[in-house]
Amino acid sequence: MTPDSATAIAAQLMSGFARRTGLYPESQKKQRRYLWTDAFAVCNFIELFVRTGNEFYRQCATDLIDQVHYVLGRYRADDSRQGWISGLNEESGKRHPTMGGLRIGKPLRERQADEPVDDRLEWDRDGQYFHYLTKWMHALCRAAVTSGHSAHAQEALELGEAAFRGFARKSASGSVIGIYWKMSTDLSRPLTFAMGLHDALDGFVTFREVQHVVSKTHAKASNDLTATVKSLSNLCRSRDWSTSDPLGIGGLLFDACRFAQPPQRHDDDGLVEAIENAYDTGIRAFVASQLLIRPVSQRLAFRELGLAIGLRAIPIIIGPTKHAVESDRGLPKRSQVQYQSLADEIIRAWLPCTQSPDELWQAHEDINDVMLATALIPDTFLSVSERMPLDAPY
C-alpha cells in the first residue's frame, strides 16, 4: 500500500467516524463521545493535516478536543449531579475542563455505591479509567506540540494531576502502592480494586511526556509532576509486563516506542529490558497461537489493530543507533521484517470490513475505524517529538 493510498483510506474512515459521532455540526447527529477512541482520533486528524496541509483536519482535531472536554468533563444527562465533574462553576470549568478528570463515555451510568458488583455489566458502565486518561493526555500533548498552544499542555497537566490524585492507591503510611483500574465519575471511590497490568508503566511514560511538553510550550503550571513520576517509576520496579493480549502487546510497544525517542530515552536498562522481553515474548506467542487464520467473524478487530499500531513502532524502538540489533536483546533484523509483515497482514484482514461490515464490525464500528486509520497513518500517535507541521498555529 502506498503512503497516498493509506492517507486516502484513513481520511475516508475518519470522515465516517466524524459524521456518525456528531463531530460535524451539519451531520445533525447527537454527539457521541468515547475517550479512548477520541484520543486516537485526535492524533489521526493531526496526522492527516501533517500529510495534506488541509486546515480542515486541524480544525477537526480542535473541535474534537473541545467536544470531548464539554461532554466527558461533565456529568451525564441521566446523573442526578449536574455541571463539571471538577465541581467548578461554568466559567471556570470551561477554562479548566480536565481538572476533575474525564468520563469514559460508556452507555450505562456508573454503578452506584449501594449496587452489587456485576462483572459483566461493569464493562458497559461509566466512570473513569486511568489508561483512558493517559491516552487523552498523550493526544493533548500531540495537539500542544503541533499547534504550539500551551493551553492543551496545561489541560494535559491538570488531567494528570487529577488522575494521579484520584487513582493512586496508598498505604497507611501514604506511599503509593498501586493504581486503581476504574474509579467513579467524581473520583471519590474505586469501582474495581484491580490494578491494570500496564497502568503504572503507561502512566510513567505519559507523565514524563507531559512534563516535557509543559516545559516546551511554557504552559502555566502551579507545580510539576516530578513526585508523581517518581512514584510511578517505583511502581514499575521488578514487574512482569508479559501479556498474550494483542492490544496489551501493542500498548507495550507504544510505551517502548516513547521510551526510545528523545527526550524520553530512559536510563534504566532493567526496565527497558523487561519491556522488550515482554513484548518480544508476547508477539511470538501471538504468532504461534495462529489466531490470524481464523475467520474475522471470530476475532475482535480493535484488539488486533492495537497490536498492528504497536508493530509499526518497532523501527523507532530499534533505531539506527540502538544496540538491540547487535546484541542478544530485542528483536533481530529478520524478526523486524517479519513483524512489519504481521502488521500488514492484520491491516489487510480488516480493510474489507470497512466496505462490507459484518455484525461484529458494526458493533464496534467507531473504535475499529479509528484504530484502523491509526494503523495506516501512525506517525503522530507514535511520536513524542516536536513535530511542527507547516509552522502554522491553530
Structural domains in the chain plus CATH codes:
82-354 (1.50.10)
Read off the DSSP letter of residue 378.
-
Partners of 125 in the beta sheet?
A: 108
Lowest model confidence (mean pLDDT) among 42-51, 102-111, 380-389: 380-389
pLDDT at 389 over 50: no
- pLDDT number for residue 270: 85
pLDDT at 125 over 90: yes
Using pLDDT thresholds of 50, 70 and 90, give the confidence band for residue 222.
Answer: low
Report d(CA 98, CA 86) in Å as an integer: 8
- pLDDT number for residue 332: 61
The three three-digit cell numbers of residue 15, written as one number: 470522515
Q: Of all residues in the chain, what percent carry a pLDDT higher than 70?
A: 91
Convert 64-77 to b/e letters by CB count within 10 Å (16 or more is b): bbebbbebbbbbbe
- pLDDT number for residue 265: 67
- pLDDT number for residue 324: 40
Chain mean position to CA 232 = 18
- pLDDT number for residue 261: 87
pLDDT at 321 over 50: no
- pLDDT number for residue 331: 60
Lowest model confidence (mean pLDDT) among 153-162, 282-291, 322-331: 322-331
pLDDT at 25 over 60: yes
Compare 162 and 221 and report the one with higher pLDDT.
162
Report d(CA 305, CA 337) in Å as an integer: 18
Report d(CA 375, CA 47) in Å as an integer: 12
- pLDDT number for residue 386: 65
pLDDT at 329 over 50: no
**Which residue in 324, 320, 212 sits closest to 279, CA to CA?**
324
| Tens-place pLDDT, residues 181-217 | 999 999 999 999 888 889 999 999 999 999 999 988 8
- Do 104 and 33 touch, CB atoms closer than 8 A? no
- pLDDT number for residue 149: 80
| Tens-place pLDDT, residues 66-99 | 999 999 999 999 999 999 999 999 999 999 999 9
| Tens-place pLDDT, residues 126-175 | 999 999 999 999 999 999 998 878 899 999 999 999 999 999 999 999 89
* Burial of residue 218, with CB atoms counted within 10 A of its CB: 0-12 exposed, 13-18 middle, 19 or more buried: exposed
- pLDDT number for residue 394: 27
| Tens-place pLDDT, residues 225-264 | 899 999 999 999 989 999 999 999 999 999 999 988 877 6
**Which residue in 115, 128, 114 sits closest to 86, CA to CA?**
128
Q: Per-residue pLDDT averaged across 352-380, rounded?
A: 95
